[in-house]
Amino acid sequence: MIRPVRREDLEGLLALLRWTDQEEDRKALTPEARDPEGLAEELEDGLVLVREGRVEGYVGLYPFWDGAVLEGPLAYRKEDLLPLLESALSAARSRGYGRVYAFPNEKNADLQAALERAGFVALFTTYYFVKPPEGLDYEPPEGVVIRKGFPGAALYREVYQKSEDTWGLRLRWSDEELEEHFQDPGIALFVAYENGRAVGMAEVEKEDHEATLAYLGVVPEARGKGIGRALLAKAADWARRKGARLLRVRAHDHEKEAVDLYKRLGFTLEEGVVTYLKEIAAR
């Protein structure tokens, strides 16, 4: 039986989440909490598959960008993945979502097969790399200056768009939201200027002892000069000075130059995540 999640399901759902965490080929986007109280606070909506009183599957559906995103689905048995997907898609249609996204680990072949059977299409794979922030000491090329600080909403959007980041969710933020975001002391933005013109940006965010390069982009006409590497170096140095012990970066599979750069600089591949999309007709 597939039904909405209840508080009595939390322990069974936690067991399923911990089982999922054990192997790369089971992983997908999931709730972050791994304790009953945290999970109860995090779960606003979701469906569980219950068989003989035991939670054996889960799928969540939440608003995302221009549609909705799935948590999971997760299931002990691969044959339960498709029914969970169908239930989530039915809920998406009833709520008027036109698009549904899913993010399985690239090694999760069972979930990818179920998604494709349900009509999802793979868009691209995002690779996540990690490395201590030390040892990334690269100066900008001649004629390029890198400055720390938010340059204003208009210039920020211009560079973001010219860097061809089609998944730039920040482009939807208001000027006030952008200003507030970059006032956070745990966030730093570095902008590269070539002969006075903004040509690239790097945004780094620190939480506890880890830092994430949330964005790194260089406009097409300025690539191949070492500007991206110099921006990365500035972000890594800031993270190190702030006490980060690990720096996490990412690149899509079509960004071969970025993937090759991270490998050359000593980053280790942590995981690959496939972005799937299904266009649906609302009822």
CA dist., res. 255 & res. 16, Å (int)? 34
Scan for tokens 């006032």, then name that residue: 183
For residue 166, the model assigns a pLDDT of 52
Scan for tokens 């995540």, then name that residue: 273
Of 20, 48, 33, 31, the closest CA to residue 108 belongs to 20
For residue 170, the model assigns a pLDDT of 77
Is 127 in a helix, a strand, or coil? strand
For residue 44, the model assigns a pLDDT of 80
**Which domains are seen in the chain, by residue range?**
2-124+275-279 (3.40.630.30), 133-244 (3.40.630.30)
pLDDT tens digits for range 237-264: 999 999 999 999 999 998 888 898 899 9
Residue 227 has φ and ψ, to the nearest 5°, of -70, -40
For residue 165, the model assigns a pLDDT of 58
Q: Render each residue's pLDDT in the chain as its tens digit; 283 residues.
A: 999 999 999 999 999 999 999 999 999 999 999 999 999 998 888 999 999 999 999 999 999 988 999 999 999 999 999 999 999 999 999 999 999 999 999 999 999 999 999 999 999 999 999 999 999 999 999 999 999 999 999 999 999 888 865 556 778 899 999 999 999 999 999 999 999 999 999 999 999 999 999 989 999 999 999 999 999 999 999 999 999 999 999 999 988 888 988 999 999 999 999 999 999 975 5
Element (H, E) at 236: helix 227-241
Beta strand 47-51 pairing with 187-194: unpaired
For residue 179, the model assigns a pLDDT of 95
Helices 81-94 and 109-117, interaxial angle, to 10°?
A: 50
For residue 168, the model assigns a pLDDT of 64
